Amino acid sequence: MSSVSLKDVAAAADVSFQTVSKVLNGKGSVAPKTRSRILEAAGSLGYVPNALARSLQGTSTHTIGVISTDFSRPEVALNIVGIEHEARRHDVAVIIGSLDPDGTDCERYLRVMLERRVDGVIMNAPATEHYPRVGELLRDSFTAVSLHEVAGGGVPVVRPNAQDSGLLPTRHLLQLGHTRIATITGQAGRRITEHRTEGYRRALEQRSVAFDATIVEPGEWTVEGGYAATHRLLDRAEDVTAIYVQNDRMAIGALSALHDRGLRVPDDCSVVGCDGVAESARTIPPLTTVHIPFHETGETATRLLLDIISGQSKPRSITLPVSMVYRSSTASPQPR
């Protein structure tokens, strides 16, 4: 472990350690001879500046915290990768915390971020969107940007257009001629689920198709959840001719369930996913879905956070556009 300090370099170059500091930071003026002597000493000693000591008197730690829901889900991972890429572009380090499913450990993580004096925090924790204490902490003690709503508001939110994520695919199905369109939703009680469902509902309304709560089935975001939800749905309403599944992983489960029931996609039932994960291109059949810019969302949130920290930008929320990806899991309803 490197523990060569400025003083060590100074001793080797026979100058004061403050002069070394100047040279290494390119500040002040130093005699060329001294400078090169110092540079050489630093090089041969393998000097590496101590970022902690540096942060101690500066105002910035060049570090941000990311508190995220379990990022083994690919969409979430893409968010984080986007965040990390943008942070790195600005020479900012990222400390990460991954929450348990209920987000009950969020405050603990926030505390850690406080102790480490991060310059700001990016929240990607839908589970905490109704926790007032988290919202309070974020507003009072941090410069923060969130990818989901925050209890009590007051924190800039950067996210893909969730309502369009429901509206676009539903409209697509309507345009194909479907009228019995079911939806398999994400986790109940989450804003993002509400928004996607709201988009679905609005698309129906625009075409004067009645919303029917009996063909709205929760699927928990998981492959298995989507599989089970599809069975429950079709056990109850076999006249459904199309399903908008609120994420691709559940859609993979839905395709499997449909297949197990002897139903052909899209002939007997159309399916639209949401998210645009890589796998969706090669499901059987390839999945029509909504492309959500997860990576870009992470980048944008980070850029905003960094701009707010540096005073270059005022806090504001940003919504990113989503777009349809048409593949072969959707078609006009066939007479049966």
Nearer to a second copy, 286 or 315 (CB): 286
Query: Which residue, 151, 223, 234, 163, is CA-closest to 192?
Result: 163
Helix/strand/coil (H/E/C) assignment for every residue in 76-127: HHHHHHHHHHHHHHCCCEEEEEECCCCCCCHHHHHHHHHHCCCCEEEEECHH
From 11, 39, 45, 49, residue interacting with DNA (rule: CB under 7 A)? 49
Q: Quick check: 284 binds DNA (CB under 7 A)?
A: no
From 11, 39, 54, 152, residue interacting with DNA (rule: CB under 7 A)? 54
Query: Tokens representing 159?
Result: 């996210």
Nearer to DNA, 53 or 188 (CB): 53
18 binds, among DNA, a second copy, none (CB under 5 to 8 A by kind): DNA
Judged by CB under 8 A, the chain residues 248 through 277 that form the site for a second copy are: 249, 252-253, 255-256, 259
Binding residues for DNA, rule CB under 7 A, total 29
Q: Quick check: 29 binds a second copy (CB under 8 A)?
A: no
Q: Residue 174, Cβ neighbours under 10 Å: how many?
A: 18
From 9, 10, 61, 308, residue interacting with a second copy (rule: CB under 8 A)? 61
Asked whether the bond before 285 is cis by omega within 30 degrees of 0, the reply is yes
CB 135 within 8 A of CB 165: no
Strands 289-291 and 323-325: antiparallel
Q: Quick check: 4 binds a second copy (CB under 8 A)?
A: no
Chain Cα centroid distance, residue 164:
17
Residue 204 beta carbon to DNA: minimum distance, rounded to whole angstroms: 57
Q: Quick check: 188 binds a second copy (CB under 8 A)?
A: no
Q: Quick check: 51 binds a second copy (CB under 8 A)?
A: yes
Amino acid present at 55: S
Query: Which residue, 327, 336, 305, 311, is CA-closest to 65?
Result: 305
Nearer to DNA, 83 or 92 (CB): 92
Residue 264 beta carbon to a second copy: minimum distance, rounded to whole angstroms: 12
Query: Tokens representing 205?
Result: 């309304």
Cα-based distances in Å from 312 to 264, 303, 305, 306, 308: 54, 10, 10, 8, 6
Residue 107 beta carbon to DNA: minimum distance, rounded to whole angstroms: 19
Residue carrying structure tokens 């504001």: 316
CB within 8 A of 28, min separation 6: which ones? 22
Nearer to DNA, 28 or 321 (CB): 28
From 1, 26, 46, 57, residue interacting with DNA (rule: CB under 7 A)? 57
Residue carrying structure tokens 């889900």: 73
d(CA 150, CA 129): 5
Q: Quick check: 58 binds DNA (CB under 7 A)?
A: yes
324 SS3 class:
strand
Give the interface with DNA as residue ranges (CB under 7 A): 3, 5-7, 15-19, 21-22, 24-25, 27-31, 33-35, 47, 49-50, 53-54, 56-58
Give the interface with a second copy as residue ranges (CB under 8 A): 1-2, 46, 48-53, 55-56, 61, 63, 70-74, 77-78, 80-81, 84-85, 88, 93-98, 111-112, 114-117, 141-143, 222-224, 226-227, 249, 252-253, 255-256, 259, 278-279, 281-284, 286, 295
